Amino acid sequence: MSTLKVYLETTLFNYYFDEDRDAHPDTVTLFEECAAGKFVPYTSLYVIDEIEAAPNEKRKKMMALIEQCGITILAASDEADNLARRYISEGALPKGSLSDASHIAAASINGLDMIISLNFRHIVRDKTIKLAGAINTLLGYKTVEIHSPMEVIDDEKTRYHLGRDSRDSASD
């Protein structure tokens, strides 16, 4: 089995540096697994554009993380922009979520296996996953899986389970 090519969406870079977020430990584990070669990590200029809006110190850390983990940055393109608009026009994502649709489109046109995200509002949603997959199939693109870090990191390393922190005791 070949190593999965994964797209790391913007929320992951935020969670990596926000230690107060529930999914922070699992996000850190995901980046560690990418750096160790479990996945072939990609992101895109769409993510870089969003990172550019972060405060200077955080932006520097996020950009350093991309380099540290050997994450390939995919180009933005008219093809991805058109596909993103199609996702929205077909109802896979709501109007006003073009940047989120662009992440799915970038992964799709580049033939990646999976998008990993913590954006449960627009990306890691059943409707988005099903409709984006159907649109991809209709247009001849590979269907890209969409998951959260908790679903893809090694089970032994997962610290967050269905809304409960695994450090909590069962009697809580």
Q: Contact 86/120 with Cβ under 8 angstroms? A: no
Q: Contact 40/4 with Cβ under 8 angstroms? A: yes
Whether residue 164 is contained in a domain is answered as no
What's the pLDDT band for 155 if we cut at 50, 70, 90?
low
Whether residue 161 is contained in a domain is answered as no
Whether residue 171 is contained in a domain is answered as no
Whether residue 10 is contained in a domain is answered as yes
Q: Give the mean model confidence (pLDDT) for residues 49-72.
A: 96
pTM confidence score: 0.89
pLDDT of the residue at 12: 97
Whether residue 77 is contained in a domain is answered as yes
How confident is the model over 86-104, as pLDDT tens digits?
999 999 999 999 999 999 9
Structural domain count of the chain: 1
16: containing domain: 4-155
How confident is the model over 101-122, as pLDDT tens digits?
999 999 999 999 999 999 999 9
Pairing relation of β-strands 145-147 and 160-161? unpaired
What's the pLDDT band for 154 if we cut at 50, 70, 90?
confident
Q: What is the CATH number of the domain that holds 151?
A: 3.40.50.1010
